Amino acid sequence: MKQILNFIDGEFVAGSHGRAFDKRSPVTNEVIASVAEASKADVDRAVAAGKAALRGPWGRMTTAERVDMLHAIADGITRRFDDFVATELSDTGMPVSLARHAFVPRGAANFKIFADIVKNVPSEFFEMATPDGRGAINYAIRRPVGVVGVICPWNAPLLLMTWKVGPALACGNTVVVKPSEETPQSAALLGEVMNEVGLPKGVYNVVHGFGPDSTGEFVTSHPDVDAITFTGETRTGAAIMKTAAVGARPVSLEMGGKNPAIVFADCDLDVAIENVMRSAFANTGQVCLGTERVYVERPLFERFVEALKRGAEALRLDRPELSGTGMGPLISQEHRGKVLSYYRKAVEEGANVVTGGGVPDMPAELKEGAWVQPTIWTGLPETASVVREEIFGPCCHVAPFDSEDEVIRLANDTRYGLSASVYTTNLARAHRVSAQLEAGIVWVNSWFLRDLRTAFGGAKQSGIGREGGVHSLEFYTELKNVCIKL
């Protein structure tokens, strides 16, 4: 069986206490790998390696040298492209088309884009008057924060991890990454790439394990971890924030969502259907930016629901490596249990099940996988749990609305505020509605269109802080002002 090891100070190592845990395939539920669990002592070693690397050749590199290194890492990922696709498929069960065309290329792009950003970032400079008339000048230097703890989720493992590791390294930090226990493989594979391209030892460390009272918390509570960046559930983020308060360490939190799509009757219906389909069902609905609430202007409501139903029923559920697969399984049996409990709750709360609502009939060799049907509901009140709570599965509730004011109120009536999408051909309305939606990102007539230079993060309980482009520099660096008396 495949062994997945920790990556500490440039070396692959087992857990010092000898413990390992099983990684199961979401597709078949078979055990596919044994993952070395990092002990507290292993986390100590990883953090110490990160600290030492800051004082070694890595800490002495010029920005230009770091930029070259980041490009080499991106090229290294591209060279091992098929291996990364295979690890993402094996860990998550995502369809090969998604891994090949979106998630793995973004893994490489996350290093390139931040290399280019740090290369071009301007610095501030101020002249000032002094009483002796000779004056002084001030200029700012960006310093790395230090050792950054990177706590990752499982839904897009390589993409979401590199989204943080890329800028952290670009800014000269070192990292201790704790991948999700569900998806340990791509972080380990990236360790191989780091060695292949000659990244100094200790700059990139990976420790495997769980969250509370385990590896995750060993990282976030470590006094020598200087900053913590996290993607995952809101309540985990809140727990991490509490831990980070000890030592007053900065946090960047990217958390859950319950994102609305608003479809006006004047929209291009094909565009709306294509994008709502993707945003509800891509990656089996396990996308933080995905849509679980759809509001459709009443004159279009029935046509829209009918078209979305046709789309959902046409999705082919199959092995991730097949090119025609439209939807894979959920990440795990545990997560399937959670999603199916919402499927039952929806019915108990009076939903009209337009399509799906259960477990698909899969061939014998896939029967044990974490499969669920893509599901659409209508007819629920806004107070229903499937309308209020993040499910993180391939499902959405569709409700009619009658006015712009009403739909803005409905869309904003949530503790979350990650993303929203609006479908309309009325330009003024697009601007008007976008401005009023309480979300970190609003798409108009699209979904998941991301320019990595733009700010990314959640409003309300969906996040704290913004990453992306120069905004990442605010978190991964500290500005030092140098004042020189002339």
Count of CB atoms within 10 A of residue 394's CB?
Answer: 27
Residue pair 372/359 in contact (Cβ under 8 Å)? The answer is yes
Q: Which of residues 283-302 bind ligand NAD (CB under 6 A)?
A: 288
**Under the criterion CB under 6 A, does residue 233 sit at the interface with ligand NAD?**
yes
Q: Of 301, 368, 302, 357, whose CA–CA distance to 329 is shortest? A: 368
Binding mask 337-376 for ligand NAD (x = CB under 6 A): ----------------------------------------
Active site residue 467: no
Active site residue 254: yes
Catalytic residue chosen out of the listed positions 37, 88, 181, 254: 254
Sole binder of ligand NAD in the list 257, 285, 357, 394 (CB under 6 A): 257
Q: What residue type is assigned to position 5 of the chain?
A: L
Task: Choose the stretch contacting ligand NAD; rule: CB under 6 A; options: 139-147, 195-203, 272-280, 457-465.
Answer: 457-465
Strands 419-423 and 441-444: parallel
Sole binder of ligand NAD in the list 236, 291, 325, 378 (CB under 6 A): 236
Sole binder of ligand NAD in the list 161, 193, 240, 396 (CB under 6 A): 240
d(CA 381, CA 399): 9
Kindly write down the DSSP assignment for every residue of 166-214, as one continuous string.
HHHHHTT-EEEEE--TT--HHHHHHHHHHHHTTPPTTSEEE----STTS
Q: Which is nearer to ligand NAD, 172 or 237 (CB)?
A: 237
Residue pair 331/155 in contact (Cβ under 8 Å)? The answer is yes
SS3 240: helix
Minimum distance of ligand NAD from residue 309's CB (angstroms): 25
Residue 422's beta-bridge partner residues?
Answer: 262, 444
**Under the criterion CB under 6 A, does residue 146 sit at the interface with ligand NAD?**
no
Sole binder of ligand NAD in the list 2, 119, 137, 212 (CB under 6 A): 212
**Under the criterion CB under 6 A, does residue 463 sit at the interface with ligand NAD?**
yes
Task: Choose the stretch contacting ligand NAD; rule: CB under 6 A; options: 57-65, 229-237, 355-363, 365-373.
Answer: 229-237
Residue pair 259/443 in contact (Cβ under 8 Å)? The answer is no
Burial class (CB in 10 A: 0-12, 13-18, 19+), 351: buried
Catalytic residue chosen out of the listed positions 152, 171, 267, 288: 288
d(CA 461, CA 258): 10
Q: Which is nearer to ligand NAD, 151 or 170 (CB)?
A: 151
**Under the criterion CB under 6 A, does residue 91 sit at the interface with ligand NAD?**
no
Minimum distance of ligand NAD from residue 217's CB (angstroms): 4
Residue with tokens 């989720």: 153
Active site residues: 254, 288
Instruction: List residues binding ligand NAD (CB under 6 A).
Output: 151-155, 160, 178, 180-181, 210-212, 216-217, 220, 231-233, 236, 239-240, 254-257, 288, 390, 392, 418, 458, 462-463
